[in-house]
Structure 1
Amino acid sequence: MFKEFREFALRGNVLDLAVGIIIGAAFTTIVTSLVNDIIMPPIGVLMGGVDFSNYFVSLTSAASPVSLEAAKTAGVPVLAYGKFINALINFTIVSFALFIVIRQMNHLKARIAKGEEPAPAAPPRQEVLLEEIRDLLKARG
C-alpha cells in the first residue's frame, strides 16, 4: 500500500498540481494587493473618497460603529458587503488572467496539432551582416 501511495504521490500530475496550487496562492496575493492597493483607491476617489472595504451594515439596532474595524472590535455583528465587492473584483481579475493563459495555451495546442510550429525568431541583424561578410571573404579566396 505504501508503494502504491508513493507512486501516486510522485506521479507527474500530482507534482504539477502541487506547483500549480503554490503558484496560485502567490498569484492570489498579488491580485489581492492589486485590487486593494491600486484599483480600489482610484475608484474610491472617483466615488467621493470612499473605501469599499469599509462598507458594512450593522445587524443590530444599537448605534452603528464608525468603521468595520471598530465594529469587529466592539463585537457588533455586521454584513461587510464592501469586502465582498473587493472579493468579486479579485475573482474577476483572476478569472480573466486564467482565461488569457488558457486561451493562449489552446491556440498553441491547435497550431501544434495542425503541424504548424511557431516561426523561429529572425537572427539579429549583427549576425546576418557577419554571415554576409564571411560569405564574401569565402568567395574572394
Structure 2
Amino acid sequence: MKKGQRIEAFVASLNTGSTHDPRYQGYFLCFNQQQYYEAHDVLEHLWLEEKGPSHQFFKGLIQLAGAYVHLQKQYERPEHATDGRRLRPAWRLFRLAQTNLGPFFPTFRDLDVRTVLELCSKNMLAIEQSDFQINPWSPAAAPILGLGVEGRSNLG
C-alpha cells in the first residue's frame, strides 16, 4: 500500500464527530501519540488542497511536526552521523513554524496558537542555551496539543 493510500485509510478510520476535517483531527491524534512524521504526512494532504489563509496555518503545523521528527530522531540515536546533528534543523523548523503560525495568534481553527508559539520558543531557547548540544525533547515530556475548550495543551 502506498503512502497516500495508507493516509486515506487512516483518515477514513477516524470517527471524530467533529466539524473539523478528519485530516486536521488526525494531525493532533498522531502528534499526541508522538508519531510526528505521520502527523506531518496526514496534514500535508490537507495543506496541498488549501488555498485560503489556512494554507499558511497548516504549513506552520507541518513545520512544528517536522521539528519534532528531528528531535525524536536525535533523541533515539544521538551518536548517529546524521541523526546526531538534528538540533539545528529542528531549531530552524521551530522558527519557521512561529513565522507561519504567528499571524493566527491567539487562536485559529480551535487551536490555542499562543500555546504552540510558546512551545516553539521554549524549545528554541533550550536548544540555543545548550549551544545546540542538548535535546529538550524526551518521550516522557512530549507535548500534547488539543483543540477547543475541551482540548488539552501541555507544553511538556
- TM-score over 0.5 (shorter chain): no
TM-score of the two chains, using structure 1 as the length reference: 0.23
Which entry has the higher C-alpha Rg, 1 or 2?
1
Which structure features the higher share of helix residues?
Answer: 1
TM-score of the two chains, using structure 2 as the length reference: 0.21
